[in-house]
Amino acid sequence: MFDSFMTPEVGGIALFFGTMLAATIFPVSSEAMLAAAIHQKLGGTVELVLIATIGNTVGCWLNWLTGRFLYQYRDRRWFPVSDAALQRARTWFNRWGLTSLLFSWIPIVGDPLTVIAGILKVNLYAFLFLTATGRALRYCVIAGLLAE
C-alpha cells in the first residue's frame, strides 16, 4: 500500500524529521530509522547518513536553544529541573569538558547534555561541530554494519 508512497524523496524527508525528533525528548530511535532507510534503499548510503546526521544535529541544536533560552525562567514553579540537579549537571559537564558532546548521542544522558550545553552557553559552533561529528561517526558505524 505504501510502496508507491515511500519514494526516495519522501523517505529522505521522513528520515530528516525523524532523526531530528529523535535528538529531542521524544523516545524515537534514529538508528532504526537510518537502518530502515538503508535497507529499503531510499537513497545512497552516504546520502542517507548525511541526512540522518544533519537531522539529528538540528535536533541537538533545538535542545541547545531550549537550554539557552529557557534557563532564564529557572525561578518559575513550572521549570522542570531543580537548582541542585542543574548544579550536578554543571559539575559533570565541567569535569568532562566540551569533548563529552561527541558522546551526546548516547541514550538517556545525551539529550540532557545538549540542553546543559545551552544553559552553560557553550559556543554554538563548537557545539554543532562536536555533536555532528559524534552523530556522523555513529551513523557511519551503523551503515558499515549494514553494508552488503
Q: Give the up-direction half-sphere exposure of residue 124: CA atoms within 13 A in the CB hemisphere.
A: 9
Q: Count how many domains the chain has.
A: 1
> So what's the pLDDT on residue 148?
67
> So what's the pLDDT on residue 89?
81
**Alpha-helical runs (H) found in the chain:** 8-22, 30-39, 45-70, 83-96, 110-119, 124-146
Report residue 109 as a C-alpha cell: 544522558
The torsion region of residue 43 among left (phi > 0), alpha (psi -120 to 50) and beta comes to left
Q: Is residue 3 part of a domain?
A: no
> So what's the pLDDT on residue 6?
63
Q: Is residue 2 part of a domain?
A: no
Q: Is residue 110 part of a domain?
A: yes
> So what's the pLDDT on residue 1?
38
> So what's the pLDDT on residue 100?
92
Q: Is residue 138 part of a domain?
A: yes
Q: Is residue 104 part of a domain?
A: yes
In order along the chain (148 residues), what is the average pLDDT of each group of 10 residues? 60 93 88 93 94 97 93 83 82 88 88 90 96 97 89
Q: What is the model's pTM?
A: 0.87
What domain range includes position 137? 8-146
Q: Is residue 141 part of a domain?
A: yes
Neighbours of 26 (CB within 10 A): 11
Q: Is residue 1 part of a domain?
A: no
